Structure 1
């Protein structure tokens, strides 16, 4: 999280020297980070970069942005911290829906008020929302992400080095134990893979990725009773997970099985009723199945729960379209 000298100098002249007001310093910092005459920072989901690398490349994902912004905010005297969200769903036009276990953003306390700053504006947090974490855990996220990138590229020694570094930062970082299990499985060391996955489950017995990977491992190695026990735990965890239900709903919707989509969307809403995205999905499934009345009801609920005026206006436009369709239908 070290700040490069040139960036520190800009921070001094463009933020610190201009005002003593915490609110104005925060505003100037945001301008420095995002405006063209500053860093002109661009969002890049694949850019797991250090603070210095973000400065050089002018791009960052949520994690790198959080490390950068917290470092700069502290430098100008603000009370800033890293925050973690256990699960999120993000929406990207080019990649569709992405479910992520683990997300970080910035927590600020300015003028007695708390605020959250998130680079990803298309994200739905889990029901617990952001929680403060230590710098060491945030850095564990960084090393874990780097390890995953090398794992995906087939560079197993580099992946292992990053995973080891993550666990040095936080020995209870479940995602890294799970990823180490995947790595060991890929290199053919099933015993080590089992140890790593069991380490993950000892920390969090309902960690779905570790449960899923353990089921696959024990099935492959012939330990069917163990796999069956873990499969039951995985099924129970998924039944309680609104995001899993939501992802199943979207998959059913894409395949044209609207009755199944409605089933899963309703399950998701039983677990997380305040997510406007879930109501919108259910409205869509009802509409595609031919039930405009229920589609209108769910669209209205989505509109009421929208995060901001722009979102609510979009839902209102869709709601108006539905009502026009309803009005055109012949009455019996």
Structure 2
């Protein structure tokens, strides 16, 4: 399970990986989880070696990657232009808005000034040009701009409900990160009541109910490199993924999602012994980390270590029922076996757990149509269209809906 912080989602963010293979391979059912999101248990570092001891460089070709500083770097001409814009904002009375408020308005994430793109993690210079990306991209860009103005910031890991996705044979569970621009005293500025301005795709009222955890700049950078490592792994670029995840672990050697991602890379390279060592390292930090238990169970099962497998399987059965794609896969299997009423039951259960997935509603629409419920079939197809951000999917769904309307 790779955890992707974005999380995407959005709530999409940063990624961490799980490598889980099942006997039934319906719908690319390689349970490699890229788990993007928040750790559910506290990390105890006492007596646990840094994860840097887990590196095995001899199995990978060296790859050049950006430095951490380059991730947060903006072109000088862009910084100069933003500074000029702020200077010009004073108007005739010579007074300017507080710099943190002005920067938040300049970024304009909540009102469409920044396009959300799931699973699109980029460094500040790229994000600034495209004005698009996931929540991690938004935070990286906002940090770069804030640093150009010497505006202090606060990074936050938001404990939102996990958002499930699937790409390239991986499950992804997306979490969420955001940041706040803090107040900076300066002359000739208009003071505002709040000293912290939220930068997020989501309005503050939407995330206020969730627990937040303040994280350091190093941990944020580690999450960034974990995210891009997960994206490289989905593309089967193992050398790049390994180089990126090493940087992530160097930045925060106790961030369990990065260690888990390293283990999944080893698994995909056929290095099962190294993967198991990494998984067990995570369990020393978080003994009930479900992502890692999933992956460890695969190795134990493949090696016929059944007594050890039974110990983790008890926990895994509970975790499986929380994965909406489990129900979706069951629905797909029932649908293609023409068990349409059964398919409806499974599709509905998938939707109950993840009502933001367009393909769940598409499947539900087809099942309703097969059972003769045309009204619900059309309604579900409309929902699939509304939720889909992919143009090709939208055209496909609209074509299906038009065919229904002509029926």
TM-score bin (small chain) = 0.5 to 0.7
1:28 to 98, 103, 106: 106
The DSSP-based 3-state class of the residue aligned with 2:173 is strand
How much has 1:194 moved relative to structure 2?
0.9
The answer as to 2:155 corresponding to 1:81 is yes
How much has 1:177 moved relative to structure 2?
1.8
Aligned counterparts of 2:164 and 2:302: Cα–Cα separation in 1: 30
Aligned counterparts of 2:366 and 2:286: Cα–Cα separation in 1: 34
Residue pair 1:2, 1:52 contacting (<8 A) in 2 also: yes
Greater mean alpha carbon deviation, residues 44-53 or residues 211-220: 44-53
Residue pair 1:181, 1:196 contacting (<8 A) in 2 also: yes
List alignment gaps of at least 5 residues for structure 2.
1-71, 91-95, 182-191, 388-397
1:160 to 221, 237, 242: 242
The verdict on how the C-alpha distance between 1:58 and 1:294 changes in structure 2, with shifts beyond 3 A counting, is closer
Residue pair 1:249, 1:260 contacting (<8 A) in 2 also: no
Summarize the alignment of residues 87-236 of structure 1 with structure 2, pairs less than 5 Å apart.
87-89=162-164, 99-108=171-180, 112=194, 117-118=200-201, 131-134=212-215, 135-151=217-233, 152-155=236-239, 158-204=240-286, 207-236=289-318
The DSSP-based 3-state class of the residue aligned with 1:15 is helix
The verdict on how the C-alpha distance between 1:21 and 1:90 changes in structure 2, with shifts beyond 3 A counting, is farther
The answer as to 2:145 corresponding to 1:69 is no
How much has 1:291 moved relative to structure 2?
6.3
The DSSP-based 3-state class of the residue aligned with 1:81 is strand
Aligned counterparts of 2:360 and 2:193: Cα–Cα separation in 1: 36
The verdict on how the C-alpha distance between 1:145 and 1:67 changes in structure 2, with shifts beyond 3 A counting, is same
Structure 2 partner of 1:6: 77
Aligned counterparts of 1:60 and 1:279: Cα–Cα separation in 2: 26
Alignment length (residue pairs):
290
Greater mean alpha carbon deviation, residues 17-26 or residues 167-176: 17-26
The DSSP-based 3-state class of the residue aligned with 2:108 is helix
Aligned counterparts of 2:144 and 2:122: Cα–Cα separation in 1: 14
TM-score by length of 2: 0.53
Residue pair 1:139, 1:166 contacting (<8 A) in 2 also: yes
Aligned counterparts of 1:5 and 1:65: Cα–Cα separation in 2: 19
Aligned counterparts of 2:122 and 2:178: Cα–Cα separation in 1: 16
Aligned counterparts of 2:143 and 2:321: Cα–Cα separation in 1: 36
TM-score by length of 1: 0.63
How much has 1:238 moved relative to structure 2?
1.5
Aligned counterparts of 1:116 and 1:263: Cα–Cα separation in 2: 40
The verdict on how the C-alpha distance between 1:111 and 1:265 changes in structure 2, with shifts beyond 3 A counting, is farther
Aligned counterparts of 2:363 and 2:232: Cα–Cα separation in 1: 38
1:287 to 356, 363, 368: 368
Aligned counterparts of 1:187 and 1:10: Cα–Cα separation in 2: 46
How much has 1:12 moved relative to structure 2?
0.7
The DSSP-based 3-state class of the residue aligned with 1:100 is strand
Using CA pairs under 8 Å that are at least 6 residues apart, name the structure with larger relative contact order, 1 or 2: 2
Alpha-carbon RMSD = 4.9
Aligned counterparts of 1:287 and 1:254: Cα–Cα separation in 2: 11
Question: Per-residue CA shift, 1:201-256, capped at 9, x if unaligned?
Answer: 44445545433322221222232332343333222112134x34554366458746
Structure 2 partner of 1:311: none
Residue pair 2:155, 2:180 contacting (<8 A) in 1 also: yes
Residue pair 1:239, 1:245 contacting (<8 A) in 2 also: yes
The answer as to 2:262 corresponding to 1:262 is no
